[in-house]
Amino acid sequence: MTYQLHYWPNIQGRGEFIRLALEAAGAPYVDVARGDEAAGQGMGAMARYLEDESVARPPFACPFLVDGKRVIGQTPAILLYLAPRLGLVGASEDQRLWTHQIQLTIADFIVEVHDIHHPLGVTLYYEDQKPEALRRAAEFRKHRLSKFLAWFEAIITRNPGNKAGRAPHLVGAKLSYADLSLFQVVEGLTYAIPKAAGKALKKTPGVVAVHEGVARHKRVAAYLASERRLPFNKEGIFRHYPELDG
């Protein structure tokens, strides 16, 4: 069965956490909104799920996944559903719950990363909230960035599955979707606020090592080098406005 991923066609955004999981597992999927309208894909296909009153369980927003009759919204819920099917999470309830807990903390983190350029909300442009963004970004760089990274570092350090000389993971001794998501967060921070991120990451070698391990993953590396990987830009979660980098 080919999975259908529905997400904005021009940004990495939240959809990228799903794309990375599908790509790392080599799973068959269609990135629907990037497809051809003539083939029943494109933005119209995505909009139907969000707007058509015949959809019994409509997502609030994209990304969402369609798997046969199932329509699943919310990035962490999509990953919770996909991961056992893609081999990207451990088998026990404890491992699944812990991996999900990490993913939810990543979700909280990226809300804060996003809000450094949108402190007054998504209904206004960045240019309409620039002084507020400067203040929020300063607070984020000073207090929040290192707090989140230190937590990821702590759980990597305490993961008994990690052995010296091998690329570490967040959970157990195998790649999970949480590793892929942390990789994406490091990518995004390094793009958006390179100075602040570089400085903070010097104190979290475990986080850097997880990022490096994921980057070397064969299928992930092939994906990153492909045209399927969209470049960062000024539309997604991670945006490079030099003035927000301190």
Q: Which residues bind its own copies (CB under 8 A)?
A: 53, 55-60, 70, 72-74, 76-77, 80-81, 94, 97-98, 100-101, 104-105, 108, 111-112, 115, 119-121, 123-124, 129, 132, 135-136, 139-140, 142-144, 148, 151, 154-155, 158-160
Q: Nearer Cβ to its own copies, position 159 or 190?
A: 159
Tokens 């759980």 correspond to 155
Query: Look-up: residue for tokens 């369609």?
Result: 66
Angle between helices 93-115 and 75-86 (to 10 degrees): 140
Rounded distance between C-alpha atoms, residue 218 and residue 39, angstroms: 31
Output DSSP code: residue 190.
H
Joined tokens for residue 105: 């903390």
> Cβ closer to its own copies: 15 or 59?
59
> Residue 23: which of 101, 76, 88 has the closest Cα?
88
Distance between CA atoms of residues 59 and 66, nearest Å: 11
Minimum CB distance to its own copies, residue 221 (Å): 30
151 vs 223 by CB, closer to its own copies: 151
Q: How far, in whole angstroms, is CA 205 from its chain's centroid?
A: 20
CA distance 139 to 123: 22
Which of 196-205 are b and which e, b meaning 16 or more Cβ less than 10 Å from the residue's Cβ? bbeebbeebe
Enumerate the β-bridge partners of residue 67. 70
Nearest distance, CB of residue 135 and its own copies, angstroms: 5
Instruction: State in angstroms the smallest separation of the CB of 86 from its own copies.
Output: 16
Cα–Cα dist 219/25, whole Å = 8
Q: Which CB sits closer to its own copies, 144 or 219?
A: 144
Closer residue to its own copies (CB): 41 or 238: 238
Query: Measured from the CB atom, is 93 or 227 closer to its own copies?
Result: 93
